[in-house]
Amino acid sequence: MAVLKFRVYWEEDDAIYRDVLVKHTQNFQDLHTIILKAFEFDQKHDATFYRSNDTWQRGREISKEVYDRAYKVAPLLMAETIIGTEIIDTNQHFIYEYDFVKSWSFLIQLIQVIKNSDADMTLEYPLVSRIEGVGPMQYGTKGLLGEKFADIEEKYDLNEGADGFGEEGEEDAHASDDSDDAEDSDEEDADDNKQDNESGSGFFEGEAF
């Protein structure tokens, strides 16, 4: 038995990749599962592998199931295909596609074959051995936070100005209104004092304080 180390690149940015380890006796369903786990994707959508070469051409499919579409050659099935049977050389390539609507594509390259005598058989395979770069978000921010975030966003109308903060210019308008009210009040007080002084009816008449 041997342990195979694959490097799985996100097709749109080869600086983002995950290294995964699988036993050569495990099947492509196991490889499918560990890739999704490595990139924190769910398990809800359709998927397929393609045999490939050094120029990343797509060959025969190793699919999750037989889909209702035209095939040049009938696909192999992930659950029935042992990974070791598809390894032709020590630089073997595959392409993995997940969610045919979104068309997430990953480039897979065999980078190491670890012999049984050198493999840590106390570990549970398949497993993720290395993570490089921040992976893509499968559904975006809302998808990761779930439906509760959408409910909060709707309840508090987060697309508008935050509570307590008006649009630009509103604060100045309120300040101007308050200033006008204060000036009106000062003018009224001044008139009252003038009338009190003229009539001699003010408090503490004749005293300084």
Residues 88-121 have pLDDT tens digits of 999 999 999 999 999 999 999 999 999 988 999 8
Average pLDDT score over residue span 158-168 = 47
pLDDT band at 164 (very low <50, low <70, confident <90, very high): very low
**Secondary structure tally for the chain: helices H, strands E:** 4, 8
Residues 41, 138 contacting (CB under 8 angstroms): yes
3-state SS assignment for residue 199: helix
Segment among 71-75, 106-110, 131-135, 141-145 with least mean pLDDT: 141-145
Residues 20, 8 contacting (CB under 8 angstroms): yes
Taking the CA atoms of residue 99, residue 100, residue 105 and residue 111 in that order, the dihedral angle to the nearest 10 degrees is 70
Structure-token pair, residue 5: 């180390």
Residues 49, 32 contacting (CB under 8 angstroms): yes
Structure-token pair, residue 118: 């050198």
Cα 16 to Cα 8, 47, 77, 138, 170, distances in angstroms? 9, 20, 28, 14, 46
SS3 letters for 141-167? HHHHHCHHHHHHHHHHCCCCCCCCCCC
Spacing of C-alpha 194 from chain mean position: 71
Q: Express as a percent the part of the chain with pLDDT over 70.
A: 67
- What is the structure's pLDDT at 116? 84
Cα 71 to Cα 59, 67, 80, distances in angstroms? 11, 9, 18
| DSSP state, residue 75 | P
- What is the structure's pLDDT at 153? 47
Report the predicted TM-score, pTM, of the whole model to 2 decimal places. 0.68
Q: Which domains does the chain have, with CATH numbers?
A: 2-138 (3.10.290.30)
- What is the structure's pLDDT at 187? 56
- Mean pLDDT, all residues of the chain: 80
- What is the structure's pLDDT at 183? 55
- What is the structure's pLDDT at 6? 98
**pLDDT greater than 90 at residue 135:** yes
Residues 8, 18 contacting (CB under 8 angstroms): yes
Backbone angles phi, psi at 7, to 5 degrees: -105, 125
Residue with tokens 């190491």: 112
